[in-house]
Amino acid sequence: MANNNLTNAKRVKNDEFYTQYADIQKEIEAYLEYNSDTFRGKVVYCNCDDPFESNFFRYFVLNFNKIGLKQLITTSYKPSPVANTQLELFSEYKTLTKLKGRPKITANKIVINEVRDIDGDGEFNLNDVSKQLKANKHNEWTPLEGDGDFRSDECVKLLKRSGIVVTNPPFSLFREYIKHLFDYNKKFVVIGNMNAITYKEIFPLIKNNKLWLGNGFHAGNAYFFTPNIRDFASGVYDEKTGLVKFRNVCWFTNLDHGRHHQPLPLMTMVENLKYSKHKEIKGKEKYNKYDNYNAIEVPFTDAIPSDYSGVMGVPISFLDKYCPDQFEIIGATESEGKGFSNGLWNEKSKVSQPLIEGARVYKRIFIRHKNTRV
């Protein structure tokens, strides 16, 4: 038991990254722009968020009436190093207010059924929420019986009540977390590592159009706050802001948004070979073909030829621009999972990574146009 607790503590520490309000706002508003009723009448559950400091809670409670929520539920995980220590909920100021004495670390549950201007100042803000919670007026703030693990019975009961899950789950449990959401047939908008695209538990969902990428972070860069300062590579951690930069993070969802249906503007193969901005393409006689896969190599998403009807290998970042009305996902390289290539791999090569003239290429997704443009 002691070893399990130690392992869990280490995992939680490594997974402790908090999403910025602006990033949450940008993502959620992309769904509202596509369909203003996306969240109307729904119960939103943030099941990996300490409501004391979560910007997910902050966003949804401040926009509760605007987007038409029926109910907001948030639960936290007990080992969180900031649980019950940063009462952002009860302050509009950026300065953190600490509790007197040693704080009692508990997993919390907050249920919001109603938000309104309760202090009579003419506007609704977090001060109104705190007053309602303290007075227990139509809302609920209670400690959980357990540690707040999303798989626990009490959290599963809350999940069953919800319609849409929105959160930043532990990256180390991402496979299990996504399976958990699908097991209970939930709509969701969650953050994950882009490399999760090729996980054997995730890729089939993407291929079958049951899961796709969200609207995305600004310029592809995600910045998170972490209370656990450790050694990061140069340029990753900013001491002034306390933010950690990630380039390989994205939103995963099964909710529709505008970018999901926006086709890519593309040039023909001849045009790419003549005018492409990429030196790997411009001036070549033809696109490279893999030694061990029956497909051509397209190293950049914007270099996909509009008039090629065969199978193409593209970087996993292609999914950020993927339009299911424009392309069909055939498979992925066998290095990501046996049978993933859907028959494109030459098994006699005995090399599952894609090869071009003997040189290994990074993992690829195989796609084909639904309709080619000449």
Mind giving me the DSSP string for 45-90?
EETT--TTT-HHHHHHHHTTTTTT-SEEEEE--TT-TTTTT--GGG
Where is pLDDT greater, at 49 or 162? 162
**Are the CB atoms for 306 and 266 separated by under 8 Å?**
yes
Alpha-carbon span 312 to 203, nearest angstrom = 17
Bridge partners, 169 (sequence order): none
List CB contacts of 38: < 8 A, sequence separation 6 or more: 31, 32, 67, 255
Using 50, 70 and 90 to split pLDDT, how confident is the model at 3?
Answer: very low
Alpha-carbon span 171 to 190, nearest angstrom = 11
Q: What local confidence, expressed as pLDDT, does residue 121 receive? A: 63
Q: What local confidence, expressed as pLDDT, does residue 225 receive? A: 75
Residue-wise pLDDT for 142-151, tens only, equals: 889 998 999 9
Q: For the chain, what percent of residues have pLDDT higher than 90? A: 59
For residue 34, the SS3 value is: helix
Residue-wise pLDDT for 186-239, tens only, equals: 999 999 999 899 999 999 999 999 999 999 887 677 887 776 666 665 666 776
Average pLDDT over residues 345-364: 94
Average pLDDT score, the chain? 84
Q: Within a 13 Å sphere around the CA of 165, how many CA atoms are in the beta-carbon half?
A: 29
Using 50, 70 and 90 to split pLDDT, how confident is the model at 365?
Answer: very high
Residue-wise pLDDT for 91-110, tens only, equals: 433 333 333 433 456 788 98
Residue-wise pLDDT for 261-316, tens only, equals: 999 999 999 999 999 999 999 999 999 999 999 999 999 999 999 999 999 999 99
Q: What local confidence, expressed as pLDDT, does residue 85 receive? A: 42
Residue 110 φ then ψ, to 5°: -125, 130
Q: For the chain, what percent of residues have pLDDT higher than 70? A: 78
Where is pLDDT greater, at 5 or 174? 174
Q: What local confidence, expressed as pLDDT, does residue 371 receive? A: 84
pTM of the model: 0.84
